[in-house]
Amino acid sequence: MALPPGPTDGFDLGGSDESLALMRDCFGRFGDTYRVFAPSRGVYNYVINHPDDIKRVLLSNHRNYTKGEGMDRVKILLGNGIMTSEGDFWRRQRRMMQPAFHRRVIDQFAGLIDEVNEKFAERWAASAARREPINLTDDVSELTLEIVLRSIFGSDLARIEQQMGANPFEVVAKETNRDLKFAFRFRSLAKLVAEVIQRRRREPEAHFDFLAMLMATRDRDSGEPMADKEMIDEVLTLIVAGHETTAAALTWTWYLVSQHPGVASALESESDRVTAERLGLDAAESLSYAHQVIQEALRLYPPGWLLTRRTIEADELGGYAIGPRSDVFISPYMLHRHPAFWSDAEEFKPERFAGVDAAERHRFSYIPFAVGPRHCIGEGLAMFEMLVHVHRMSQRFRLTRASDEPIELEAQINLRPRSNLMMTVALR
Ligand code: HEM
């Protein structure tokens, strides 16, 4: 069987911000399946961009794949949590954690999501009164970090802050480099998590948060709890996975809304119609326009813009042979702009996610949370907190960009605007 075509000059996919431009170029020249020589590893990497092949790798033939290139680096940060682990161990951990992400559980985070948003709304109102722009990138990063930390540690977060005089986890939002130095600082937080676990054992009290659920969960077969080391890796995984992606998605959402005043007005009308004091999960999901806006933002700028998998045995993708132990790259960014599956692919049109259009789409042409057994465990929580945030803020504010400098993409682990996004906030 033939090998896929590809450029003569190699490059390391995902190795630099140029990757996206190079991938666009390769897609234009070679189509849905191509291979690129990776100079750093001296091997060929494979890129696929057809929804049928993506379905095969992530779902129908997923047993033939492990996570791929880049995971060693992520492991230094996250240890052996469910983002990076494999095989039976991953299956066991995922099974033990899944109930914590059930709708009934997520619904109970409504109160804390509201409180955090209220705090930021007050802050934005003060900036509006002073006519000072806000640093949206920093604000949504703090907001999503606080939501994920409070959903993990509950009331212990305030206790940790009090004890340490500051929130020690803030380094996650303040330091955006994801290099070895950061990994070292971040891993040192493991000790704090261990202390919280030990204190909870010494002073049993009712808690409702992810940590309590991790401590209570039992292996279905052996009846054993999670070891402390495993729990710590899962907690650190949830902090990073739950914070950065959601922050990036909200940054992109506000950026796009600020560029489309008609969309901002429609969001505001919806937010004026739905005036419930507290939005539960069902109510949040019924905000159909806000939902479409967020889905469309995740289409154009999926934070998880590059997924990697590695074949175990050889496979066939797009009619080409892919050898064993080969890295296969899937870019939701490229897929979500595929001209054969999306009309006006480069345009921001939230209505495309309404009704008929959505039903006609290829199911595997839209994967901001991935698909298959390793899809995002936090999807429900992420959508919930984003809906509440966009809704609440639209009720009170209109955001306008404070400068018209073009936005540059930073395509590292997550896809973000390279510079902080400054916004002017006006009270409505
Ligand atoms: C807009 C927000 C989010 C986006 C776009 C997103 C996207 C993704 C994607 C694409 C994956 C698959 C990665 C891969 O296959 O290589 C993933 C996995 C994961 N996500 Fe999310 N995520 C978001 C929010 C969250 C939240 C809020 C949490 C938890 C609180 C979370 C926890 C995880 C975990 C633990 C995994 C690994 C699952 C596994 O392999 O079993 N994510 N996410």
Question: How much distance in Å is there from the Cα of 243 to the middle of ligand 1?
Answer: 10
pLDDT digits (tens, 9 = 90+) for 96-112: 999 999 999 999 999 99
Task: Output the pLDDT for position 278.
Answer: 85
Domains defined along the chain, listed by start: 18-427 (1.10.630.10)
Q: Which residues pair with 322 in a beta bridge?
A: 315
> For residue 382, what is the enclosing H or E element?
helix 379-396
Nearest-angstrom CA–CA distance, 144 and 42: 39
* Nearest-CA residue for atom 19 of ligand 1: 376
Beta carbons of 250 and 389 less than 8 angstroms apart: yes
pLDDT for the residue numbered 80: 94
Taking the C-alpha atoms of residue 221 and residue 215, their distance in angstroms, rounded to an integer, is 17
Write down the pLDDT at residue 290. 98
CA distance 33 to 51: 11
Report the nearest atom of ligand 1 relative to the CA of 249.
1
How many whole angstroms from 305 Cα to the centroid of ligand 1?
12
Dihedral angle sign, alpha carbons of residues 427, 140, 122, 394? positive
Q: What order do you get walking across the sheet with 134-135 strand by strand? A: 134-135, 422-427, 397-401
pLDDT (0 to 100) of residue 76:
87
173-183, pLDDT tens digit by residue? 888 777 888 88
Pair 231, 400: CB distance under 8 Å: no
Q: Burial letters for 309-334: b for 16+ Cβ neighbours within 10 Å, e otherwise?
A: bbbeeebebbebebeeebbbbbbbbb
**224-271 tens-digit pLDDT:** 999 999 999 999 999 999 999 999 999 999 999 999 999 999 999 999
Which residue, by CA, sits nearest to atom 4 of ligand 1?
245
Cβ–ligand 1 distance for 413 under 6 Å, the answer: no
Q: Per residue in 246-257, is it b (16+ CB within 10 Å) or e — as a string? A: bbbbbbbbbbbb
Give the separation between CA 258 and CA 409, rounded to whole angstroms: 17
φ, ψ (nearest 5 deg) of residue 316: -125, 125
Strand segments (E) across 232-297: none
Find out whether the beta carbon of 303 lies less than 6 Å from any atom of ligand 1.
yes
Q: Ligand 1: which of 230, 245, 335, 383 to mutate, most ligand atoms within 8 Å of CB?
A: 245
The span from the CA of 114 to the CA of 389, in Å, is 8
Is 94 a pocket residue for ligand 1 (Cβ < 6 Å)?
Answer: yes
Residue owning the nearest CA to atom 14 of ligand 1: 307
What is residue 356's predicted lDDT score, i.e. its pLDDT? Answer: 67
Could you tell me which of 275, 298, 303, 295 has the C-alpha nearest to residue 391? 275
Show the low-confidence residues of the chain (pLDDT under 70).
356-357
pLDDT of the residue at 426: 97
237 neighbors 77 (Cβ within 8 angstroms) = no
pLDDT of residue 424: 97
Residues 6+ apart with CB under 8 A from 359: none
